[in-house]
Amino acid sequence: MSNRPCTLRIASLHGKSQLVKWNVLEKGQSRTHCHRCVDAVVSLIVADDPLDSLLAQERARERFQISREWCAS
């Protein structure tokens, strides 16, 4: 897997149909940098029940998308 510059996007839900729109959150220097940003956000999710916390973290991860910048040199 390439560690080239990537764009980190986050999903937002809109309207009654809960239409998903992807918004650019950050332009990362690398795929690793983007993954670290996701991990930092997800680690903020804490619940009283460890299982609830794990499920909440997994749902949060699904709201992020990392895509490669094809035109990056």
Please say if the pLDDT value at position 73 is more than 80: no
pTM of the model: 0.72
Which pLDDT tens digit goes with each residue over 5-64? 899 999 988 888 889 999 998 888 899 999 999 998 888 877 778 888 888 888 889 999
User: What is the distance of C-alpha 29 from the center of its chain?
Assistant: 15
In three state form, how does the secondary structure of the chain look? CCCCCEEEEEEEEECCCCEEEEEEEEEECCHHHHHHHHHHHHCCCCCCCHHHHHHHHHHHHCCEEEEECCCCC
54 token code pair? 């794990």
Domain edges within the chain? 6-68
Average confidence (pLDDT) over 63-70: 84
User: What pLDDT, on a 0 to 100 scale, did the predictor assign at position 32?
Assistant: 92
